[in-house]
Amino acid sequence: MAPAARKGLGRLTRDVREFLLVRRIVNLRGFQFLVVLPTTAVVTVVTISAAVGILHPSFNFGTVFTWVVWWGALLASFVVFGRAWCLVCPVGAVGEWIQRLSLWWRSPYTAGLQLRWPRRLRNLWLATALFMVFVWLDNGYGMSNSPRLTAGLIVVLTLASAWIGLFFERRAFCQYLCPLTAFIGLHSLFSMFELRRQDAGTCRARCAGKDCFRGNTQAYGCPMGEFPAVMDSNLHCILCTECVKSCAHNNLALRFRPPGRDLWTSRRPRLDEAVAAAVVVGMATILPVLTLALLPGLRAILAGVLPAGSPPNDAPRLVAVGLLFVLGALVSVGVMYAFGRGARWAAGAATGGRALFAGCAQALIPVGLFKFLADLLDHGLRTWGAVFDVTRALLLDFPWNRAVPGRVTVIHLLTPAQVYLVQIGLVFCGLLFSLYAVHRVSRDLLGGREAAFAAFLPMAGLAFLLTLLNLWSLAVGLL
């Protein structure tokens, strides 16, 4: 039941369902509905206020709650609970409710066509592209400063989830189309919490029904199409606990674990997952540097060709940001692939370049994640006062949020230099996790101590390089 790696942590890594209260809550048929309900209420208010509320982003509950509170909580949740947001996300739930014709009970009926998702699209390619569009909407169009765009985004995603749920089986939208699925899933590899089967032998020898995947009369099969008996990473697990409810052998555990284990223990990532990891890491590390260095010049060049407009409808800027995104993604994948090949060459291995690229891309996730957290820290420390402003504004005119509550509150908890010091700590934290992951990846892929060390060096060098880029891009505001 407990692999050697977990023995040292003892009681800390035991199944949290050993606690009676947790077990009762998790086993409740309506568990997921009960946790989705509050977020549905909040997201409804967020959408209304963003759609019809005041256009000033600092007074709009929708924008502040989405881009300060939700985004911050999302990033922080990766570290502890992985895809916990997906558990409570009302966008995904809407598709499921329509598909199942039920809010929480096990319904034998469906309104959906239950088609299988096309085989060619069963990967993260589309999700990675949509993630780039999502970030482009923010960087190019300033979505996080636009209440109406924020509302539009939520509505479009909800409708997309509903349509996909109506036509395709399980949570195809969440797994393959949600613009955040790659971003959330890959960062969840780092998380300190997991859902796993306990004993492989029980699944092999005693379970013929595979209820965790197929479902039974009491519970649904895994909505993400995972087979928990062999699941070895958090990439797709949304912690909905359907498998826990359906397992007749009580062979599934929810437990804490050392952070980042999936980065080196999960099966070799597929190419689409590796590229998605490279892109996600690159968005945090390489893209900001490219933007700082190239955006003004590129925009100026495009201004001679494209009609200028005022932000956000500034065509030269929109195109320049879009081009930089594509360039950033290509550079990220190219650099990580080159370093993977370099690791193979250094180790003198005949094969395994692609595996080293994939392993390297995943191992660098902490460098990207902690850069996102460092950005969040700066943002949070500057804008946290807005949460109270928008709450006051919302209460003045609930739920329409049309009134000005007063002046925007600005209370800096730390000076920019102090923030930067904490950011340095976070960035180095990410580096340390990545170095350890790189070490484990190279050791597991190449076996021999010397070859593993030789492969470790180039990949560790890349982690250092990306860390330096992070430190530079974070410092630009101070210079």
Partner 1 sequence: MAPAPPARRIPVASVAALVFLTAATGFVLLVFAGRIPLVSEEASADGPVFYLVPYHYGFAIYDRQFLEIERIEVEEGTAVTVHVVPALALARETFLAYAERTLRAGIGGRPPGDPHIRHRIEEDLKLGDVEHIIGITAHPVHVTTNVAEVLGGRFFREGAPRTVREAVERKNPAIKTFTFTAKRVGEFDVLCVDSGIGGEGTCGWGHQWMVAKKALAVR
C-beta of residue 328 within 8 angstroms of C-beta of residue 342: no
Residue (240 or 275) nearer to partner 1, CB: 240
Residue (272 or 397) nearer to partner 1, CB: 397
Residue 58 binds partner 1, judged by CB under 8 A: yes
Residue (110 or 202) nearer to partner 1, CB: 110
Please pick, from the candidates 36, 43, 54, 91, the single residue that binds partner 1 as defined by CB under 8 A. 54
Task: Give the Cα separation of 286 and 334 in Å (integer).
Answer: 12
Pick the piece of the chain touching partner 1 (CB under 8 A) from 47-55, 72-80, 124-132, 448-456. 47-55
Residue 120 binds partner 1, judged by CB under 8 A: no
Chain-centroid distance of CA 394 in Å reads 29
Q: Which residues contact 257 (CB under 8 A, 6 or more apart)?
A: 6, 9, 13, 192, 193, 194
DSSP 8-state assignment for residue 254? E
Amino acid residing at 25: I
Size of the site for partner 1 (CB under 8 A): 50
Task: Give the Cα separation of 200 and 370 in Å (integer).
Answer: 34
Pattern 62-101, binding to partner 1, x per CB under 8 A?
------------------------------------x-xx
Please pick, from the candidates 27, 114, 250, 415, the single residue that binds partner 1 as defined by CB under 8 A. 114
- Residue linked to tokens 């495009």: 302
CA angle 403, 405, 406 (to 5 degrees): 130
Residue (59 or 433) nearer to partner 1, CB: 59
Query: Least distance to partner 1 from the beta carbon of 55, Å?
Result: 8
Site residues for partner 1, 409-468, by CB under 8 A, read 409-412
Name the residue among 332, 346, 227 with its Cα closest to residue 274: 332
Residue 129 binds partner 1, judged by CB under 8 A: no
Task: Give the Cα separation of 96 and 307 in Å (integer).
Answer: 44
Please pick, from the candidates 80, 113, 301, 308, the single residue that binds partner 1 as defined by CB under 8 A. 113
Please pick, from the candidates 38, 296, 406, 447, the single residue that binds partner 1 as defined by CB under 8 A. 406
Query: Least distance to partner 1 from the beta carbon of 399, Å?
Result: 13
Query: Least distance to partner 1 from the beta carbon of 27, Å?
Result: 13
Residue (114 or 421) nearer to partner 1, CB: 114
C-beta of residue 362 within 8 angstroms of C-beta of residue 263: yes
Residue 51 binds partner 1, judged by CB under 8 A: yes
Token pair recorded at residue 33: 């509905």
Query: Least distance to partner 1 from the beta carbon of 402, Å?
Result: 4
Residue (401 or 473) nearer to partner 1, CB: 401
C-beta of residue 180 within 8 angstroms of C-beta of residue 133: no
Query: Least distance to partner 1 from the beta carbon of 249, Å?
Result: 11
Strands 252-256 and 193-197: antiparallel
Residue 60 binds partner 1, judged by CB under 8 A: no
Q: Which residues contact 92 (CB under 8 A, 6 or more apart)?
A: 86, 161, 171, 173, 174, 178, 238
Pick the piece of the chain touching partner 1 (CB under 8 A) from 28-36, 149-157, 421-429, 465-473. 149-157
Q: Which residues contact 146 (CB under 8 A, 6 or more apart)?
A: 57, 63, 312
Please pick, from the candidates 215, 223, 225, 359, the single residue that binds partner 1 as defined by CB under 8 A. 215
Q: Which residues contact 479 (CB under 8 A, 6 or more apart)?
A: none
Please pick, from the candidates 1, 2, 111, 475, the single residue that binds partner 1 as defined by CB under 8 A. 111
C-beta of residue 140 within 8 angstroms of C-beta of residue 317: yes
The terminus-to-terminus CA distance of the chain in angstroms comes to: 53
Residue (101 or 121) nearer to partner 1, CB: 101
Residue 391 binds partner 1, judged by CB under 8 A: no
Chain-centroid distance of CA 49 in Å reads 25
Query: Least distance to partner 1 from the beta carbon of 209, Å?
Result: 5
Residue 55 binds partner 1, judged by CB under 8 A: yes
Residue (100 or 236) nearer to partner 1, CB: 100
Pick the piece of the chain touching partner 1 (CB under 8 A) from 79-87, 209-217, 224-232, 363-371. 209-217
- Residue linked to tokens 């209420």: 41
63 to 47, 73, 207, 348, 399: CA distances (angstroms): 9, 14, 48, 52, 14
Binding site for partner 1 (CB under 8 A): 51-52, 54-56, 58-59, 98, 100-101, 107-114, 152, 155-156, 159, 162-163, 166, 209, 211, 214-218, 220-221, 246, 248, 382, 396-397, 402-412
